[in-house]
């Protein structure tokens, strides 16, 4: 079945550091890929998405590129802020299905 693997956390960074959170997937066909963020005590918010190979999703300084050859969708940000501290989830939906399959989540802690 479909699955998502993302790096273990927590990831601890200083403000203005560069962020990478790795995400790889296993899926048949052509999945759509997502990054969601969860702040303490809240639900999930869509951060960005890509629906076909080589698409780049971007939002609020975060970027991720859909790489079919490496089955990856790594999240990057050039300069993190304290307010970016949250849990980040990589997810996919398979071909024809709405069901989201999530990775385990990566907690990001940014210190001033």
Partner 1 sequence: KAGVTQTPRYLIKTRGQQVTLSCSPISGHRSVSWYQQTPGQGLQFLFEYFSETQRNKGNFPGRFSGRQFSNSRSEMNVSTLELGDSALYLCASSESGRAGETQYFGPGTRLLVL
Distance CA 69, CA 84 (A): 29
To partner 1, the closest distance from the beta carbon of 67 in angstroms equals 17
Residues that bind partner 1 (CB under 8 A): 31-32, 34, 36, 42-46, 49, 51, 89, 91, 93-105
To partner 1, the closest distance from the beta carbon of 18 in angstroms equals 27
Closest CA to 74 of 22, 32, 31: 22
Question: Positive or negative CA dihedral for 74, 66, 100, 82?
Answer: positive
To partner 1, the closest distance from the beta carbon of 30 in angstroms equals 9
């Amino acid at each position: 079945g479909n699955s998502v693997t993302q790096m273990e956390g927590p990831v601890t960074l200083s403000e203005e550091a560069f962020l990478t959170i790795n995400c790889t997937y296993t899926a048949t066909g052509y999945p759509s890929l997502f990054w969601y963020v969860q702040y303490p005590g809240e639900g999930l918010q869509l951060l960005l998405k890509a629906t076909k190979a080589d698409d780049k999703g971007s939002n609020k300084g975060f970027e991720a590129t859909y790489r079919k050859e490496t089955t990856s969708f790594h999240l990057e940000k050039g300069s993190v802020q304290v307010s970016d501290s949250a849990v980040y989830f990589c997810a996919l939906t398979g071909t024809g299905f709405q069901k989201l399959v999530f990775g385990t989540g990566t907690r990001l802690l940014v210190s001033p």
